[in-house]
Amino acid sequence: MLDETGQADLAERDSTAGLGQEPAPGLSHDPATGLVRDPGTGHPRPPRREFKARGSFTERCLGCNLPVLNCLCPYRVNAGSESRVWLITHPLEHLKPTNTGRLIRDVLPETEVFTWYRTTPDERLLALLDDPCFSPFVIFPDDQPDYADRVVGMGAVGEAKASGKTPVFILLDGTWRQARRIFRKSPYLDRLPVLPLATSRLTRYQLRKPASRAHLCTAEVAAELLRQSGDAAAAQVLDDYFDAFNVSYAASRRYEKIEQPTPAMRRLLSYRGQ
């Protein structure tokens, strides 16, 4: 579930960490020493050593973080939805160009992204969870008995809409191990209903190797949730944007320039009125 389930992470070879990037969200930076501080402990973190694996010297677009050979910016389209998405992202995911959670925020501008620290929950997230305007659901499998009483179906999303509240899908953005840790080590999530994603769709993600094709990446999970909850138009835009990302990045790894837009790319251009 989420980026991505128990797999060997092939994306690390493309990481740009250590090449002058800004610190990951949530980390404070001391320009005098060059150190960043972890808000969870207050301890200084030295700069990551220079990363020289394959892909670290790739010239990337500052807008989409993809290799400039196949920039994604021309295909970026905003969409509206009745439901919202909030991402609780593991700090390491911010360093991975193959992370798909950021695609959701590109398409749905009202998406919130919070960096997860076990001992220091984001204050804005806590405030939003207490906001009576929202009806949040934690997206997580229903495979353990200890939280079975919290599991709900998609009908609960319809009930939230009928009561005048905005449904919120909370996605735990990280590897499967990281997502399970976030779920288990975040007491503020314990009071929220758990909504498992029921789908027969298989992943189309080419950039990391999942343990099973039934394990969808974060953007695919969001698109399917939007589709099942009635936001079909937004789901289609996100699906197309994910496809464009998937194809563009995979082609760039092979040093191939995409000469003709794919069907998904053409649809995105039509959404933009081009």
**pLDDT tens readout for residues 202-253:** 778 777 766 666 678 899 999 999 999 999 999 999 999 999 999 999 999 8
Spatial separation of the C-alpha atoms in residues 131 and 261, rounded to whole Å: 43
Residue bearing the bigger pLDDT, 20 or 103:
103
pLDDT 10s digits, 45-97: 555 554 454 555 678 888 888 989 999 999 999 999 999 999 999 988 887 88
Nearest to 87 by CA among 59, 114, 60, 54: 114
pLDDT of 116 higher than 70: yes
Q: What is the pLDDT of residue 142?
A: 87
The mean pLDDT value of the chain amounts to: 83
Residue 144 CA to residue 189 CA, distance in Å, equals 16
pLDDT of the residue at 49: 53
Q: Are 117 and 158 in contact (CB under 8 A)?
A: no
Token pair of 35 as six digits: 């150190």
- Provide the pLDDT for residue 272: 84
Measured CA to CA, the distance from residue 233 to residue 268 in angstroms comes to: 12
Question: Which of 65-69, 109-113, 183-187 shows the lowest per-residue confidence on average (mean pLDDT)?
Answer: 65-69
Q: Which spans in 163-231 are helix H?
A: 176-184, 218-228
pLDDT over 70 (residue 1): no
CA atoms within 13 A on the CB side of 79: 27
Element (H, E) at 237: helix 232-253
- pLDDT value for 214: 62
